[in-house]
Amino acid sequence: MSGWLQALLAAAGQWLERVLTAALAYAAGRWAQRAVGLDEQTKVQDEQARIAADGPRTRDELVRRVRDEGL
């Protein structure tokens, strides 16, 4: 194989490695965002279920509870 063809294949391999690495990093970031989003959604649903189980509350009680618990 000629020298220029080897150099071209080496450059293409390096480019492909960079592209695949970037794609994997992007996919991992999206997966992490989705996981955090699902975790937050679960927390909200758990809190809604807990509030519903506690029964009706006045607005002042809910505001105080949110402030105290940092929700």
- Band of residue 54 on the pLDDT scale cut at 50, 70, 90: confident
Q: Which residues contact 47 (CB under 8 A, 6 or more apart)?
A: 71
**b/e map 43-67, b = 16+ CB within 10 Å:** eeeeeeeeeeeeeeeeeeeeeeeee
Q: Considering its fold, how many domains does the chain have in total?
A: 1
Phi, psi of 27 (to 5 degrees): -65, -40
Establish if 17 belongs to a structural domain.
no
Establish if 14 belongs to a structural domain.
no
Residues 29-46 pLDDT 10s: 888 888 888 888 888 888
> Could you list the residue range(s) of the whole structural domain that residue 37 is in?
23-71
Establish if 63 belongs to a structural domain.
yes
Establish if 18 belongs to a structural domain.
no
Establish if 1 belongs to a structural domain.
no
Residues 5-29 pLDDT 10s: 999 999 999 999 999 999 999 999 8
